[in-house]
Structure 1
Amino acid sequence: MNKSRESSTKIDYSIILLVMCLCLIGIAAIYIASLTNNQYATDFLVRQLIWLVAGTIIIIIIVKYFDYDRLQQMAYYLYGGGLFLLLLVFAPVIGIERKGAQSWVGTEAINIQPSELMKSFLIVALAKLIWDHTKKTSIRTLKSDFHLFIKISLMTLAPITLIMLQSDLGTSLVLISIMVGMMFISGITWRLLLPIFGGIAAIGTTLILLVLKSPSTLTSLGFKKYQFNRITSWLEPEKDPLDTGMQLLKSMRAVGSGELRGSGIGYEAIEIPENHNDFIFTIIGGDFGFVGACVLIVLYFLLVYQIIRVALDVGIPFYSYICTGVVAMIFFHVLQNIGMTIGMLPITGIPLLFISYGGSAMLGSLMAIGLVLSARYNAPKAMDL
């Protein structure tokens, strides 16, 4: 009896409840999208439910069978397997292209997007890399921190390169956010990180200003005009409201139409392409208004807070690194997806985790949650080693 009670305390029911709430909101939003958008004939709701069940099974497997030792042993194998899947995307017959992006493997009926799974694989591999480096380095110096910075960067660069070849900027940015978050928690000195990231931020700001003020300078450097569209359609969508700026303008109007309490379930004054997927926040904002959007954001903040609590409570650096990577992934997804639908950030192909339709995104997200639940569940046993 005592053993059963002790085991149950290792299950983080708060995280499970929050993820369930988010998934239920997602199911409702996808259903509403099917009522208001005749863009596709596919029954996305049924498919999402199937992927949700599959993701739940994956969580159970991770929690039960991937304890501290198993994750340590499998970290680099998972990373290598993820790279192999990313390479398979380019293989004939197996690789699938959609809307100009070569990002899926499988068949038209059943397929996965390896880049979504790579997020969790990278988190585990980076956690292993940082933990191994920390154990071997008794005294931290600027040189040892620089070596760790290079190792983390190279490990992240490999999947980013393959993903960029698939024309998937959004997922590449997610991997970068994971890398940055885990660098900060790794103990690398600010004397190294501040000038590096400060320089990158300065370069990015300069490029944006050149796109707006002097695009000819960039074209003379080899950039193409179509590469500017992502920036101009974000900052100046009204200049091309029928083409590059149309999606953002419609999205902002749809979210704004909900006002305080929303327009009601199934009502959508403005039809938004992909409103079941990357732009599903327009359903939340339009049908449930500012109140509904705030409830959703609060749920995400509570989830992030609970994962941070796990990172602090378990007292095991390897698990804390994993939790940090998951927090960075969730935070960036939510910030970027909601930000792009209301015009605060440029549009990229990033889903709203647990809400947007997408089998691979759901599997990848639940896999990351499984890693956190595994940390809580298996930490006591790991501390006894």
Structure 2
Amino acid sequence: MKQNHKITPEGTHDLLFEECLARREAERRLTEAFRVRGYHEVMTPGFEYYDVFTQSEAGIGQEVMYKMTDRHGRLIVMRPDSTMPIARLAATRLLNQPRPLRLYYDQPVYRSNPALIGREDENAQAGVELLGADGLRADLEVLTTAVESLFSCVPDFRLELGHAGFFHALAEQLSLSEDRLEDIRSAIESKNYAALDQILDALPASAAVDAMRRLPRLFGGEEVFEEAEKLCETPKAKETLSYLKKLYHAVQDLGLGDRLMVDLGLVQRNNYYTGVVFTAYTEEYGDAVLFGGRYDHLLEHYGCKMPAVGFGVNVDAVTKILLQNDEYPAVQEPQVLVHGDHGQAVAALRRAAKLTAQGICCETSLCETREEALNYAKSRNIPKVEFVEGKE
């Protein structure tokens, strides 16, 4: 039974020394960016009832959730997502609070990922949720907060902007089952052109089919809007594209330049998102470091109709980038070793307390003799040893 007692579970790892300092620095920078924008921290339990995540809009397969039962036999899961617990919180304990609600979180999520994709099962995330507000101003505020929080940690990144409504507008013209649309969505998200063509080739030829085929290729700058306009045959598609174009120009004023991209193939979890969607990437990390969007119908499942928009940052990814760039506080090494002679252990502790009150990092000796204390100090490169005798 002890064959696993020296290893961590798959998808988890220990953090040591500089890694811990970099993690805390990443969290500090991100949460400070949230706080100065007027967001307030909330924490949700590490495990929730399975029912919190069962609605179709959740977009989380039951196979990725870690499950257990409570003492009453009710199914609970380790938190696989922070947005839905916060939606639950907003619809219950914060129901009578003035809106909009500006909330932020900094907590891990747990998902069982296939071993070969290289993702952790325990993943630290920090993000914001703006609840009870819709429209351009709300979307722009959250996007601005996302950009500023990333700038504080990772100045060199690319932000991709899309809109879930564009996919929905095209999907409505195809009259397909939810399962078939999910296959199309998955192929577009992964930019699997072969799989997408195989699905669409089996459908009757139409403008909507041609538009869906083009969707994963609609990526780039301003020119994307001109190309996409040719594919818009319904008022809903035109309205969605017009709004995205307006938002794109507004975000450009944040100084992103050519690092702001349009991606109409950005369709991940479209049963979850209803409006603008966005992700951010950096060269130092192979996956998205930030992801978010608008989800106006999610809170209805908790009995509270409320528009919402938010984003999450992969804190583990930011931590790795800070480590690579040496952007974290130095490990504080002790400058003094305080050794109490026989019977002076308490006096040595008092002396150490005086030193630490002055901001000096020190250790108290656990050795029995002065010689042992000196040898220990040499082994640890502690430059100074103080001996406490009968009197300090």
Common topology (TM > 0.5): no
Structure number with greater Rg is: 2
1 or 2 for the larger relative contact order (CA 8 Å, sep ≥6)? Answer: 1
Output the TM-score relative to the length of structure 1: 0.27
Output the TM-score relative to the length of structure 2: 0.27
